[in-house]
Structure 1
Amino acid sequence: MSNGLPGARTAKWAPGPGNVVAMVARLSANRGQNVGSLMRAAQVDQAELEAAFKGDASNPSVLRRLAPALGLHAADLFVLAGLDVPSDLAPFAAPADSILDQVVRTALRLPLDRCQQLLGVARSMSPPAPIAPIARKRDPFPYGPGAVIVRLLRNRNLNNLNSAKALYRLAGIGPLSAATIHLVGNGRKQLSPELLSGFATVLSFRVEDLAALIDVELPQSCPPADARTSQVAELIWEVRHLRSDQLHALQGEFEVAA
């Protein structure tokens, strides 16, 4: 199937060990790294990695060990592999309402040092103990580049509407509708280089790394996000466990300074 980018490779999008090993190899090549040394640094060998993706639960720590060596969140590596994210790596809170967008807007208006303080406070806030487990219905998208991107957004507790808002605030794309994000997920919305770059910004990925991971070719280089935007993208990750009332408290503490 086509992944939607001009001049892109045609990838066989099926989750499994071959795809994941190839993914690691592409990312390493993109960074000028040696895949063997990278996997040794993670204390993972190819046979162990393949066994994990065949459903061997004897060593469930393989992906968790590999993720830091790749510079990825473990939850994101599960998504990239087409696997369910373990409950301890998934967001604890229900998807935030419009307060998340207010926090993002406040952070974007702050001076860099104050934004860094906001990020520090967010990191220090304890996630709530849920009264009951949060039922998370998996998006019914076939495994493919768009589905992976939308599920990476879900790892940041971003529903379709907040994903569209974040894409507009951080990358200046849109504003798009929530329905458009759904179309990306099911592969009916083309992933243009601009759109891929915008998603990379929100997800706090280098766009070249994201392109390598989902096996597409960028026809041109894309400038990295500026320092403030990078901080806010990191903030979105750090608040993924917080409830709306906690986000209200966080936003209230910093909105005057903005």
Structure 2
Amino acid sequence: METLPAFGVQLMRLAELRGVDVNSMACRAAVPEPVITSVLDGGEPDPSLLRRLAPVLGLHASDVFVIAGQRVPDDLAPLDAAAAGDPGSLSWSLTHLPRAVPELHQFVRSLPHQRRPQGPSTPTPPYQKYPNNAGGLVVRLLHNRNLSWLGAAKYLYGLGRRDVLSASTIGAIGHGRKPLTSDLLAGFASFLDISSRDLSALTGIDLTGNRPPAHPDAAEAAELIWNARRLTAGQLQQVRSRAHAIRHERADELRPQLRCHCPGSPGDDPSQRGAHAVSCARRATGHPPAESQTCSNASRVTTNGLQSSSGSSRLACPRPPYRSASCPGPYRRTGPRSYTSTCRTGQPSSSTSKYQTECPQASNSSPRDSSQRRR
């Protein structure tokens, strides 16, 4: 992938788009003109200069640090490191719920400002260190909005109206293993809260021409995503809960397959109430619903530590039941390299072997007996 030019070149491109010359830029930033000239000539910008340039360019100050390839200062970074990736859990609501974007945006803005958590800053994970190319710049801008690879993929599909991409594909774009096409860049622009002209100038990718339209509420959703940077993980949970409530309040406006089926919603099936409550609780916390099967054994296991509304655990069988001639089983996995079974005698047995499970009835069997089958 082609390496991006130095920050001085990027700065000049952005200034030209705004019709601002060097003298005007220096006056608006309240710095001597030689300071601007030295940066345009390839010098390293001072952090204080980057802060002053942000209002001149009409960009977020932290985005200017990202464009310059410098670390975002703690006071400009997202508030709560524990909330990293959480804004991606709102993608479904912002995409499908009618009139939800303005209401949720107002709710986000109404939440009180919290103090920044004390403690050392979180170091950048190795997989989030990208080369200086167009894809790396865009993905760093996404991370500056607290969006993970998965969250970016969700918004690219929902708000950008582009093809479904996996989280790893977003990472591949950032690391230069997958090209950043003009169509993908236009999709990212729909929720980055940065104009398409600026992104085109920064990346060198032409965005002219007819392209699929973005979501009608994409512009305000982009502002919501940006404003959500100042929220704590607990406050983002409140936003998700409000989005869940809207899904119930406006169920009549949703297609049947988009309605929530937790207790109290239209079409609630009492026989499935426990499973729906668990599924809904996981969605409200930003987790996908856990998949489970009904185990034919009498054993009941809890998935992800969640209980149904009736107080009983969900039925789950992580693996299909296995049977043998001497011990009909079925077996279920209970931990790493550990299996239990219930025989016709009703006596449970266990084994820590990776490949076999023994039964009291088959204790005298040969090692090749079918009760000791390989997994």
TM-score when normalising by structure 2: 0.57
Tell me the distance in 1 between the aligned counterparts of 2:213 and 2:36. 31
Match of 2:147 in 1: 158
Identity of aligned residues (%): 37
Q: 1:129 to 1:27 in 2, by over 3 A?
A: closer
The SS at the match of 1:240 is helix
Cα displacement string for residues 136-162 of structure 1 (whole angstroms, at most 9, x for unaligned residues): 315222211111111101110111111
User: CA 1:47–1:110 in structure 2 vs 1: closer, same or farther (change >3 Å)?
Assistant: farther
Deviations 1:117-174 (A, max 9, x none): 4223313432454253341315222211111111101110111111111211211223
In the alignment, what sits opposite 2:294? none
- Distance between the aligned counterparts of 2:55 and 2:214, measured in 1? 22
Relative to 1, partners in 2 of residues 1:104 and 1:44: Cα closer, same or farther, differing over 3 Å? Answer: farther
- Aligned match for 1:90, one of 77, 86, 97: 77
Tell me the amino acid that sits aligned with residue 217 of structure 2: R
Structure 1 residues 62 and 227, CA, compared in 2 at 3 Å: closer, same or farther? farther
- The 2-side partners of 1:238 and 1:80 are apart by 20
Cross-structure match for 2:200: 211
**Ranges in structure 2 where 5+ consecutive residues have no aligned partner:** 248-375
Matched with 1:63 is: 50
Query: Relative to total residues, which structure has the larger helix share, 1 or 2?
Result: 1
Question: Are 2:159 and 1:170 aligned?
Answer: yes
Output one character per residue of 1:63-113: Cα deviation in whole Å (capped at 9) or x when no partner. Answer: 11111121110100111111111111111222647753342332344555x
| Residue of structure 2 equivalent to 1:13 | 4
Q: Secondary structure at the match of 1:121?
A: helix
Aligned: 1:230 with 2:219: yes
Equivalent position to 2:109, from 106, 123, 143: 123
* 1:88 alignment partner, SS class: helix
Quick check: 1:136 aligned with 2:123? yes
Stretch moving more, 118-127 or 69-78: 118-127
CA distance in 1, matches of 2:233, 2:87: 8
**Distance change in 2, residues 1:95/1:233 (3 Å):** farther
* 1:180 corresponds to: 169
| Partner residue in 2 for 1:246 | 235
CA distance in 2, matches of 1:218, 1:253: 36
Mark the CA change 1:177 to 1:158 in structure 2 (over 3 Å): closer, same or farther.
same
Alignment check: 8 A CA contact 1:103 1:247 kept: no
In the alignment, which residue of structure 2 is the partner of 1:145? 134
Residue 218 of structure 1 deviates from its aligned partner by: 3.3
Aligned pairs, number: 241
Give the letter for the 1:172 counterpart: R
Matched, 1:34 2:24: no
- Mean alpha-carbon deviation: is it higher for 182-191 or for 165-174? 165-174
Q: Any unmatched runs of 5+ in structure 1?
A: 3-11
Distance 2:193 2:146 in 1: 14
**1:93 to 1:154, Cα distance in 2 relative to 1, 3 A:** same
- Aligned-partner SS, 1:143: coil
Q: TM-score, normalised by structure 1?
A: 0.80
CA contact (8 A) 1:141 1:147 kept: yes
Give the AA of the match of 2:178.
K
**Larger CA Rg, structure 1 vs 2:** 2
Q: Deviations over 1:189-240 (max 9, x none)?
A: 1111110101111211221210102233335265875651111111111112
Partner of 1:199: 188
Deviation per CA, 1:2-55: give whole Å up to 9, x if none.
Answer: 3xxxxxxxxx535xxxx3232222223334x13333443233455324657845
CA distance in 2, matches of 1:129, 1:212: 34
Check conservation: 1:95, 1:157, Cα contact below 8 A.
no
Instruction: Label 1:222 to 1:49 Cα distance change in 2 as closer, same or farther (>3 A).
Output: farther
**Residues 143 and 248 of structure 1: is their aligned pair in 2 closer, same or farther, counting only changes over 3 Å?**
same
CA distance in 1, matches of 2:230, 2:82: 9
Aligned CA distance change for structure 1 residues 55 and 231 (closer, same or farther; 3 Å) = same
Q: Distance in 1 between matches of 2:132 and 2:45?
A: 21
**Distance across 2 between alignment mates of 1:166 and 1:133:** 30
